Structure 1
Amino acid sequence: MALSPQWLDELRSRITLSGVIGRTTRLTKAGREWKACCPFHNEKTPSFTVNDEKGFYHCFGCGAHGDAIRWMTDQQGLPFMDAVKELAAQAGMEVPAPDPRMARAAEQRATLHDAMAGAQAWFVANLASPAGAQARAYLDKRGVSAAAIREFGFGYAPEDRGAIAPALASFPKPMLVEAGLLIDVEGKEPYDRFRGRLMLPIQDRRGRVIAFGGRILADVANAPKYLNSPDTPVFDKGRTLYNLHRAAAASRQSNRIVVVEGYMDVIALAAAGIGEAVAPMGTALTENQLELIWKLVPVPVLCFDGDSAGQRAAMRAITRALPLLKPGHSLSIVTLPQGMDPDDLIRRDGAEAMEAVLAKAETLVDAIWRFERDALPLRTPEDKAGLKARLIDHAETIQHPDIRSLYRRELLDRYGAFAFPPKERAPFQPGNFRKGQDRFGGRTSILPPSDRLRRLTPDAVRARLIDALLIGLCAHPAVIGEESERLAGLHPEDRQQARLLDAMLEAAEARRFDGKNASSVLESADVAAILEGRGLSLPDRETIGGMKFAFLTDHAEAKEATQELVQAIDLLVEKPAIETALAEATARFAQDPEGAYAEQQRLLKRKLEFERRLMQMAASRASASA
């Protein structure tokens, strides 16, 4: 019976490895892993680890290593199919019935593996022959050591259209075509795919050669610098990462995976002691490759060249990753100095320089902000609006609701600080005039506050009003969707208030995209359920000081309650707008003293009026309850 790799991967994903091993071996929790004394050899100090996230066990004493199936065959002594059937029963999966076509495909895979192994041996022999002199000179020029040549299996494909078929005469030509070693053109004799190239084997997780990458050595017009094998029954370009079989082992020591752009970068990093490096097959990182890496480490480091092509590759990888983000799993981004790749940097400045660059990796949100901020000129309001739209578009692609909401808020906060930066304010010099008069001798309209209002601060009242607003929004959730843009700019300083507001905005947004029928209307019960699901609770009504708004009472008409909610939002969003305008007026003081000073005074009066209205609202509402 032939089982597909996809079916076996699904079986492994449904099995909790520690649960399988824990039936016969006592495991102790150790961080993200489990530990035990190794069941494969006698020991007193535990060196046997089980990692559920990565799906394997490993003993650092005797080297025992494997997955759930390997455990059942090696430790329990079951035949392979019996082990699969037992695990499938535990996972609730049906073992596929025998399929003759799959059996033939499995036989073909084994045969193609043999052909690829034969080709690899031939390429290695060619490198050591007189024909490989140019390839050896190139490796010497690049500083590749003899140990690295052996470790990574460098070889050479001679400049001959018909060399490989006679060398692999034990394999029929149709099989060599299927393996991607020959190119078959209708009406012509198949000819060698790789000619005059330095060859590197591409291996699977078990270390078997499944494809090749070849670098051209001579200047040939229109010839690609690197040429990879095509997809074959044993090689899927989008599901394979170069050097993954070595990097997986190294990552268990460093808890790091570094993704670089090319094969030579991987080899240069390995020579510098960074063995946990992988590379895609000359294309942008795919969703399947990201999932492969995330099974090894939660936050891999993507390292890109400092040129424009490297930056484009970084953005492609980020765009692919955003929809897949999940709690605890992300990416770090490293950008090398302009015009350099890892090999260049290591050869110029040494391994320490590379480690220093990796240590300064950006978070994913940092990289998105930097890329988009620098992507286009930002001279006009339209340019800045375009930046905001691009940032929102990135956040909207994230599928996980909590992460999407957090990215949206973080990116918009950065946009706000960039588009409306706080200006350094000049010292306020109001002039020498009497209290209660403006600079022209007229009476101001601001009256001294009462004793009751002196005991209240604007910040305290604002916090209480936000508490009241949150309670009112839960009771009248239609206002959340209608006022979402202004509510998103509220930015409460209290963390609990911010979390509540984020949850409400996200609930309204999700419901808005859920459909246009009546069932998509957000109800109070929906908001309450979402808050409860996140462990959030509304403020206690006692904390809002007895404020008696219509939207806080159960008997108020919906229209009246909605009007008061909108008025409260008006009041709360006014202060940031006043302060921004005041800062801009202050910044213009040196160029236009008279105009800027007049604007300062107008805005200061408006700010004082705002604070008076805010405190009088609190006082009047409180007195209404007395």
Structure 2
Amino acid sequence: MANHIPRSFIDDVLARTDIVELINSRVKLKKAGREYQACCPFHHEKTPSFTVSPKKQFYHCFGCHAHGNAISFLMEYDKLEFIEAVEELAAMQGLEIPYEKSPHFNGKDHNTQSNYRSKKDLFQLMQEIAQFYHQQLPSHLPAQAYLQQRGLSAEVIDRFQIGFAPNQFNAVLKQFGRNAEERQKLFDVGMLSRNEKQDVYDRFRNRVMFPIRDRRGRTIAFGGRVLNDEKPKYLNSPESHTYHKGNQLYGLFEALQVNDSPDTLLIVEGYMDVVALAQFGIDYAVASLGTATTPEQIQLAFRSTEQIICCYDADRAGRDAAWRALENALPFLEDGRQMKFIFLPDGEDPDTFIRQYGKEGFENYISQAQSLSEFMFSTLSTQVDFSSKEGKTKLAALAVPLINRIAGEMLRLSLRKTLAQKLGVFDQTQLEQLIPTKLENATTHNPPPMKKTPMRLLIALLVQNPELSQFVPNLEALKTLQEPGLNLFEKLTALCREKVGITTGQILEYWRDTEHFRPLEILATWDHLVDEEKIGETFRETLKFFFLQVIDKNIEGLIAKERTEGLTPQEKHTLAQLLQKKQQNK
């Protein structure tokens, strides 16, 4: 039997969660009438089409049609599995999940639940290995000497859980791979390797070990640094069930433990840079782990701060990495967000620089970081000849596509103005032709619209306004119509009555992973169905339409019988009543 989360707990955690607050912590929202708006985080656009409803506890994008409740948002935006999303919401509310024993979870099949439990076991395994490495450190003097030489205190070593992988071929294998199933798990997380002779051995040996943790503090991978001149000098975990290169920032968890909303995050190259800076009190450094800073890493950083400073070496490789980071950041640069660039002097890295100049000297240096605009135009300017008309045309050709990718309208207009000054273009008509002020949104995906029928209108109104359930009478009579959707409408009505105050977001959660979930999501996004003040009236009139259909059907049946075999006195009385009722309801 696998653990599952009780339905009542999911109801509770959704009821306690404010979807506006949740989404605003990741995407800056602006009030727009009764709702909130932003540029959609799920596709590139310039004009906001992403709305969040506090009443419905539901989000919807009119561009790419992304929509859902708080759980759906975390699954899509934070790339979490369902149970992980519920756990995240519970943690935000300070709630502990009361897991129960059950063969199924929330309508999901057993395989889905087993897969989740298996992945959770892998995270637990990685944490145990990190603890194992950390416990090895005191008994390995060369590793201790190396860390002391780098000036690391016991406090910083503990904070980052730095450890040591023994110089043995099977230290981890022997400790954690006692049977075939356990060995397979070690392969799944990238801790074992196999040579040409098919011999199995530890991937990390005789290395100082740096656990790589995700934003939630789970150990997902490792980085290891040799103590001698062996190659490679640095070795990271491979792609695995727990680790996807380019999706994480080393040190982010540790930085957020110090300050969960830092003014700045400093992106450096390696984990040793992060640890060295932390030793001197620079607690806001994170590392891209040797890769060019990816869109996923930039998005991850901007969830926690409004300003990123990229700190790279001044050589060609460092400047190329900075340029790739700039290109990757453009779609995430909403108004209010900043990205800056600083290059260390030749031969310096963050570790050597801060050792020489200290915290104050380092922070004074990075305070001189170039703005995105300065870095962009200084880099592009090296590729053109400003003395010629052709050179200025080339600058425009290089800069305009970059500016158009920027999410924030004010930032986009600011760079547009800077480009115009560099080109010497001050005529507004010319400038508008060169860079239009208003840009069309990126291509959107428009699925075929769901045809509006009276039953779908009823369901849509009820999903969006659960309090309407008070107007629904006994529906037994309608079953003779065999109307598609009536069974769902009946269940929906019962749910809204049972859970007084339920929101649209909570309603959808009841049907997740059922055939009704997708249609209900679409109906929840139907906008401007009727005027606000006429919602109740329209709902009641649509219900009346169905009951009149029942009356018409019964009248037709009795009239047909009268023509063929005649009616009994009771049937004649019933027909008269039905005709009178129809007349009254016209």
TM-score range, shorter chain: 0.5 to 0.7
1:391 aligns with 2:399: yes
Question: Taking structure 2 as the reference length, what is the TM-score of the superposition?
Answer: 0.55
Aligned residues: 369
1:292 to 289, 292, 300: 300
Distance 1:109 1:19, change over 3 A: closer
In 1: Cα distance, 2:106 partner to 2:297 partner: 27
Q: What's the counterpart of residue 64 of structure 2?
A: none
Task: Kindly indicate whether the alpha-carbon contact (under 8 Å) linking 2:4 and 2:99 is maintained by their aligned counterparts in 1.
Answer: no
What is the CA-CA distance between 1:224 and the residue it aligns to? 2.6
**Whole-Å separation in 2 of the counterparts to 1:13 and 1:283:** 36
Alpha-carbon distance in 1 for matches of 2:220, 2:97: 29
Return the alpha-carbon distance in structure 1 between the equivalents of residues 220 and 440 of structure 2: 48
Distance verdict in 2 for CA 1:216–1:72, change over 3 Å: closer
Does 2:215 align with 1:205? yes
Cα distance in 2 for partners of 1:266, 1:249 equals: 14
Residues 267-346 of structure 1 mapped to structure 2, 5 A cutoff:
267-346=275-354
What SS class does the counterpart of residue 334 from structure 1 fall into?
strand
Partner of 1:219: 229
Query: Is 1:213–1:229's contact at 8 Å kept on the other side of the alignment?
Result: yes
Q: Is the 8 A contact 1:156 1:198 kept in 2?
A: yes
CA contact (8 A) 2:263 2:307 kept: no
Q: What's the counterpart of residue 166 of structure 1?
A: 174
Once residues 17 and 247 of structure 2 are traced to their aligned partners in structure 1, the CA distance between those partners, rounded to angstroms, is 17
Distance 1:237 1:193, change over 3 A: same
Which deviates more, 160-169 or 356-365?
160-169
Deviation at 1:122, TM superposition (A): 2.5
In 2: Cα distance, 1:263 partner to 1:70 partner = 28
Contact 1:302 1:334 in 2 (8 A): yes
Residue 371 of structure 1 and its aligned partner are, at CA, apart by 2.1
User: Aligned partners of 1:188, 1:502: CA distance in 2, in Å?
Assistant: 65
Shift of 1:289: 1.7
Partner of 1:103: 113
Work out which of the residue numbers 146, 153, 162 in structure 2 matches 1:145.
Answer: 153
2:119 is aligned with 1:113: no
Q: CA deviation at 1:280?
A: 1.6
Distance in 2, matches of 1:330 and 1:410, equals 16
Match of 1:69 in 2: 90
- Shift in Å at residue 257 of structure 1? 1.5
Residue 177 of structure 1, CA deviation: 0.6
How far 1:379 moved relative to its partner? 8.2
Please tell me whether the aligned partners of residues 324 and 398 of structure 1 are also in contact (alpha carbons under 8 angstroms). Answer: yes
Return the alpha-carbon distance in structure 1 between the equivalents of residues 108 and 392 of structure 2.
Answer: 61
2:20 is aligned with what amino acid? T
TM-score between the two structures when normalised by the length of structure 1: 0.52
> Is the 1:211–1:229 Cα contact (8 Å) retained in structure 2?
yes
Letter in 2 for 1:490: F
In 2, the alpha carbon distance for the partners of 1:506 and 1:391 equals 10
Contact 2:334 2:406 in 1 (8 A): no
Distance 1:273 1:402, change over 3 A: closer
Residue aligning to 1:16: 20
Map 1:117-516; keep pairs closer than 5 Å: 117-129=127-139, 132-170=140-178, 172-184=182-194, 188-220=198-230, 223-252=231-260, 254-374=262-382, 385-398=393-406, 403-416=411-424, 489-491=425-427, 510=439
Q: 1:340 to 1:73 in 2, by over 3 A?
A: closer
Cα 1:264–1:503 shift into 2, 3 Å: same
Please list every run of 5 or more consecutive structure 2 residues that lacks an aligned counterpart in the other structure.
Answer: 25-72, 75-86, 444-586
What is the Cα deviation at residue 310 of structure 1? 1.6
1:542 matched residue in structure 2 = none
Question: Contact 2:265 / 2:309 at 8 angstroms: preserved in 1?
Answer: yes
For the 8 Å contact 2:313–2:345, the answer to whether it is kept is: yes
**Counterpart Cα distance in 1 of 2:116 and 2:441:** 49
Query: CA separation of 1:183/1:318 partners in 2, compared to 1, >3 Å: closer, same or farther?
Result: same
Indicate conservation of the 8 Å contact 1:269/1:275, yes or no. Answer: yes
Local SS of the residue matching 1:240: coil
Which of the two has higher C-alpha Rg?
Answer: 1
Residue identity matched to 1:69:
A
Q: Please state how far the C-alpha of 1:411 moved relative to its aligned partner.
A: 2.5
Aligned-CA RMSD value: 3.9
